[in-house]
Amino acid sequence: MKISFHGAAREVTGSCHLVQSGELKLLLDCGLIQGGKERHERNREPFDFDASELTHVVLSHAHIDHSGRLPLLCRAGFTGPILTTPATADLCRILLEDSAHIHEEDARWKIKRLRKKGLDTEWVKPLYTRADAQAALERLVPVEFGEEHDLGPGGSLRLTKAGHILGAAIVELELCEDDRSRRVAFSGDLGVDGARLLGGAESIQRPDYLLIESTYGNRSRSAEEDRTQSLLRVIERTVDRGGKVLIPSFAVGRTQAILARINDLVEAGKLAGLDVWVDSPMATEATSVFARHPESYSDAARKIMRCGDEPLEFPGLHFTQSVEESIELNHSTEPGVIVSASGMCTAGRIKHHLLHHLGDARNTVLFVGYQARGSLGRAIQSGTSPVRIFGEWIAAQADVETIQGFSAHADREELLSWFEQLGGVPRKTFIVHGEEEASLAFAESLQEGFGADVEVPQRTQEFDLD
């Protein structure tokens, strides 16, 4: 048995890990690399393995940094099933088609700019197309939480709730090779205890080998202000001076978490008359998927629903659809809140809103999640000014705020608590999905707290599973 790491190794994005056991070759996630100038080149690089030899892909959840290279994998020759939960399959149909559309649009804009300069455009191609995305979507095979799924001779799969976003799963593999049986578990991304819509990660039986995320492996939320009160403070202060709050937010998960908190404030009479625009067709579609999967909600959210209140509906909430509606928001002088994708400001309508609003001191840019190195979001969050948006240099005059508690990632204490609940220490634990500093710090915490045998793998590094 072997395991090798092909993404999200000493970095956050591009989750991609290969497990080989007998005739089984299972790829855990196949995510897009986000942030950094080199991401364009890296996403276009050939895979470090033969895609046609893979027997299965197991997808932990729908976020693009976990699913976004699936169309490239299928184009490279993968013909097997992509196993994931029903909710993740539903969300992927939105996310992958939108991702393909963004790549096609980026290529179109680049061709337009090059033609204006009289330069060659033959080399400009989208990373992948909507046809490529559709080919990947046709390979999705839903697997219910808790169901034991046969992988063929020598293996089985079980998916357990991770709580990170709707449908997110912890992957548990039972593998047998040469009369040796081993349990391999992949945490995917673990959720936050006390999250407004979704519950925290469920515990699993101790595996022999564990891959665990470490996005916030060196950070704690314990000293932070209550998320709802922090949101209220930012909104009230901005609206009082006649400005808008721009919230760059992932369309899936983060947007719905923000809406649920604003719903609480509106229901409590603290934001009466506030206009909130969700300017993302994908977020609108994703919110409808949430409505179809209430079984994944937290006990608190289900209790509210039983009382007749929908946590994702409130007076003053508007979902824009057309480009014209989005443009109109940029010309409106009315205060309010605009929630728009993408969460790291790397693409989508949020970049247009930043272009028009970042230079106005009445406004606030509110970050509610992780910003990868090299992303526009990280630059703004770090105080860089001016920043370049669509070829224009924009001086950052708006307030910049961050509420880390909205992240859907477990913090250091929550990760350690989940590890402790395994009921024993794995033979080896691999730390993935974190910037190098966070991964190394979390590895040290596991070594000191549990005496764990820990590795923080480099990209393409391979290990034998004894």
**CATH number of the domain within which 429 lies:** 3.60.15.10
Q: Does 384 have pLDDT greater than 80?
A: yes
Per-residue confidence (pLDDT) for residue 395, from 0 to 100: 96
Shared domain for 247 and 282, answered yes or no, is: yes
Q: For the residues 30-41, what does the mean pLDDT come to? A: 85
Per-residue confidence (pLDDT) for residue 372, from 0 to 100: 80
Look-up of token digits 């000493």:
10
More confident residue, 184 or 301: 184
Per-residue confidence (pLDDT) for residue 7, from 0 to 100: 96
Q: For the residues 277-304, what does the mean pLDDT come to? A: 82
Q: Does 379 have pLDDT greater than 90?
A: yes
CATH number of the domain residue 299 falls in: 3.40.50.10890
Strands 169-177 and 155-161: antiparallel
Confidence bin at 222 (pLDDT 50/70/90): low
Shared domain for 253 and 339, answered yes or no, is: yes
Domain final position from 402, 437, 454: 402
Domain final position from 402, 422, 456: 402
Per-residue confidence (pLDDT) for residue 409, from 0 to 100: 87
CA distance 358 to 349: 14
Shared domain for 243 and 378, answered yes or no, is: yes
Q: Does 429 have pLDDT greater than 80?
A: yes
Per-residue confidence (pLDDT) for residue 382, from 0 to 100: 95
CA distance 421 to 417: 6
Shared domain for 310 and 361, answered yes or no, is: yes
> Taking all residues of the chain, what is their mean pLDDT, rounded to a whole number?
92
Shared domain for 209 and 325, answered yes or no, is: no
Confidence bin at 311 (pLDDT 50/70/90): confident
Q: Residue 316: which of 293, 339, 289, 290 has the closest Cα?
A: 339
Q: For the residues 25-37, what does the mean pLDDT come to? A: 90
Report the range of poorest mean pLDDT among 149-163, 244-258, 352-366: 244-258
**pLDDT tens by residue, 80-139:** 999 999 999 999 999 999 899 889 988 998 899 899 889 988 888 999 999 999 999 999
Q: Does 223 have pLDDT greater than 70?
A: no
Shared domain for 213 and 243, answered yes or no, is: no
The contacts of residue 131 (CB under 8 Å, 6+ apart) are none
pTM comes to 0.84
Shared domain for 453 and 396, answered yes or no, is: no
Per-residue confidence (pLDDT) for residue 420, from 0 to 100: 97
Q: Domain containing 333: what range?
A: 227-402
Confidence bin at 206 (pLDDT 50/70/90): very high
CA distances to 126, 284, 326, 356, 439 from 323, rounded to whole Å, are 21, 14, 5, 15, 40
Domain final position from 402, 424, 453: 402
Q: For the residues 180-204, what does the mean pLDDT come to? A: 89
More confident residue, 262 or 225: 262
Shared domain for 291 and 208, answered yes or no, is: no
Number of domains in the chain: 2
Per-residue confidence (pLDDT) for residue 349, from 0 to 100: 92
Per-residue confidence (pLDDT) for residue 202, from 0 to 100: 92
Question: What is the percent of the chain with per-residue pLDDT over 70, rounded to a whole number?
Answer: 98
Shared domain for 52 and 165, answered yes or no, is: yes
Q: Does 216 have pLDDT greater than 80?
A: yes
Shared domain for 77 and 212, answered yes or no, is: yes
Confidence bin at 421 (pLDDT 50/70/90): very high
Shared domain for 419 and 355, answered yes or no, is: no
More confident residue, 311 or 389: 389
Per-residue confidence (pLDDT) for residue 221, from 0 to 100: 72
Q: Does 224 have pLDDT greater than 60?
A: no
Shared domain for 57 and 204, answered yes or no, is: yes
Confidence bin at 225 (pLDDT 50/70/90): low
Per-residue confidence (pLDDT) for residue 288, from 0 to 100: 87
Question: What is the percent of the chain with per-residue pLDDT over 90, rounded to a whole number?
Answer: 72
Look-up of token digits 């979001």:
377
